């Protein structure tokens, strides 16, 4: 066994089997260079171990526990509608039903979309179109004007909204 | 905690028992926090990771494999979350963000030396690759068995040993350099 072969074992001494350790120990007895390296490794292992044994604790352990428990759904929330809904959604059968319903709706939409009959295009003469449009606009305008005219006597800056409304109601009665 | 008791707690928690889950949290919270803190070095980040890990545990309790120790499973979740967090934060850290416990310590010389040692080793650990750091933290700082480390990191024993070897070389070299510099300053 040469020193190069054993170098990795010197760093992984704690992970070696008893047999491997015995082999390394045997080498260390005769090789001062490897024994020196092993001593240096042991020193750094001690320093690392000192760090490993330093206590590390959360400053407010109880607060952290509360934070964790708040993070998961509380029993009250679980019993609420939201909780029940969530648990229902989690159920596999409901998931399948929702999926089937979604697919059904998509198919229905597709069928409806393609079944819409093509509307024949009615070509009106330009004059007729103008007549239809102008009459409908005139009718609407007349209605608005009549309504405005009817409301004029009732309106006054000195009257309350309620009295204006009563006035209008009486008028139309 | 006995293995059977623990399994019992896990079973009840998986059935939705919050009070039982609280017991499970209380018994493993310190370990989860310590592990997260070793990776992240700030109490706030460690607390956030611990909370996230336990929420993950709660949501996946029905998938828990009883052939593994709960601690190993929890450690795996915490480690993965920490590694993800480190990936995201890798370029964000600057001197101004250094955690308070790594500022100049006060107290007697032993405390100063301990704080200094802590700072050096954790700084050196930060220079390791992700895998090396994970293996080093779990094996050398959390003192877990090589098998537990393999299980937590989903690595082969050979891979764990290889990463551990390189991590230990780098830490040892860093420590030697630091003490040499310190010695030369004193002289």
> Which secondary structure element, helix H or strand E, spans residue B71, and what is its range?
helix B70-89
Per-residue pLDDT, B160? 96
Mean pLDDT of chain B: 86
Q: Say if residues A50 and B114 touch (Cβ distance below 8 Å).
A: yes
Cβ separation B58–A72 shorter than 8 A: yes
Residue of chain B whose alpha carbon sits nearest to that of A44:
B172
Its pTM stands at: 0.65
Q: Residue B69: helix, strand or coil by DSSP?
A: coil
Is residue A84 pLDDT above 60, yes or no?
Answer: no
Q: Say if residues B129 and B139 touch (Cβ distance below 8 Å).
A: no
What are the pLDDT digits (tens) for B21-61? 999 999 999 999 999 999 998 999 999 999 999 999 999 99
Mutation for B interface: A56, A74, A91, most B CBs within 10 A: A56
Per-residue pLDDT, B100? 44
Q: Say if residues B58 and B13 touch (Cβ distance below 8 Å).
A: yes
Q: What is the predicted ipTM? A: 0.81
Cβ separation A47–B54 shorter than 8 A: no
Residue of chain A whose alpha carbon sits nearest to that of B60:
A72
> Which secondary structure element, helix H or strand E, spans residue B7, and what is its range?
helix B3-14
Per-residue pLDDT, B89? 76
**Bigger pLDDT: B14 vs A137:** B14
Residue of chain B whose alpha carbon sits nearest to that of A73:
B18
What are the pLDDT digits (tens) for B113-161? 778 888 899 999 999 999 999 999 999 999 999 999 999 999 999 999 9
Phi, then psi, of A121 in degrees rounded to 5: -85, 115
Indicate the burial class of B55 (C-beta count within 10 angstroms; 0-12, 13-18, 19 or more).
middle
Cα angle B107-A52-B135, degrees, rounded to a multiple of 5 = 140
Mutation for A interface: B51, B100, B149, B167, most A CBs within 10 A: B51
Cα angle B8-B12-B13, degrees, rounded to a multiple of 5 = 115
Per-residue pLDDT, A149? 66
What are the pLDDT digits (tens) for A52-82? 888 888 888 888 898 889 888 654 444 444 4
What are the pLDDT digits (tens) for A33-56? 999 999 999 999 999 998 888 888
Per-residue pLDDT, B33? 95
Cβ separation B50–A75 shorter than 8 A: no
Residues of B whose CB is below 8 A from A54: 114, 118
Mean pLDDT of chain A: 78
Residue extents of the structural domains in chain A: 3-53, 80-114, 133-171
**Bigger pLDDT: B18 vs A149:** B18
Q: Which one-letter DSSP state was computed for residue B155?
A: -
């Amino acid at each position: 066994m040469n020193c190069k072969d054993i170098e990795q074992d010197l760093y992984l001494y704690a992970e070696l089997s008893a047999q491997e350790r015995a082999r390394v120990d045997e080498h260390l007895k005769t090789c001062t260079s490897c024994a020196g390296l092993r001593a240096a490794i042991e020193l750094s292992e001690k320093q690392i171990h000192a760090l490993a044994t330093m206590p590390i604790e959360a400053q407010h352990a109880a607060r952290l526990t509360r934070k964790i428990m708040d993070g998961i759904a509380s029993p009250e929330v679980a019993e609420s509608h939201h909780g029940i809904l969530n648990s229902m959604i989690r159920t596999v059968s409901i998931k399948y039903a929702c999926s089937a319903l979604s697919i059904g709706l998509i198919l229905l939409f597709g069928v409806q979309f393609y079944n819409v009959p093509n509307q024949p295009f009615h070509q009106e003469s330009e004059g007729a179109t103008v007549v239809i449009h102008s009459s409908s606009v005139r009718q609407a305008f007349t209605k608005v004007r009549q309504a405005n005219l009817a409301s004029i006597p009732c309106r006054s800056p000195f009257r309350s909204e309620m009295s204006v409304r009563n006035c209008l109601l009486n008028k139309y009665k | 905690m006995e293995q059977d008791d623990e399994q019992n707690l896990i079973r009840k928690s998986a059935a939705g028992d919050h009070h039982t889950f609280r017991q499970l949290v209380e018994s493993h919270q310190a370990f989860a926090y310590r592990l997260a803190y070793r990776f992240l070095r700030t109490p706030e980040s460690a607390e956030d990771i611990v909370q996230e890990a336990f929420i993950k545990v709660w949501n996946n309790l029905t998938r828990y494999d009883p052939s593994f120790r709960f601690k190993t499973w929890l450690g795996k979740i915490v480690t993965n979350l920490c590694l993800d967090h480190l990936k995201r934060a890798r370029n964000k850290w600057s001197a101004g963000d250094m955690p308070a416990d790594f500022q100049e310590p006060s107290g007697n010389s032993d405390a100063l030396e301990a704080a200094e040692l802590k700072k050096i080793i954790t700084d050196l650990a930060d220079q390791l690759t992700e895998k090396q750091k994970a293996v080093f933290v779990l094996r050398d700082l959390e003192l877990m068995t090589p098998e537990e480390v393999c299980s937590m990191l989903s690595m082969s024993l050979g891979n764990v040993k290889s990463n551990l070897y390189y991590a230990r070389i780098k830490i040892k070299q860093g420590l030697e350099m630091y003490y040499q510099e310190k010695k030369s300053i004193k002289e």
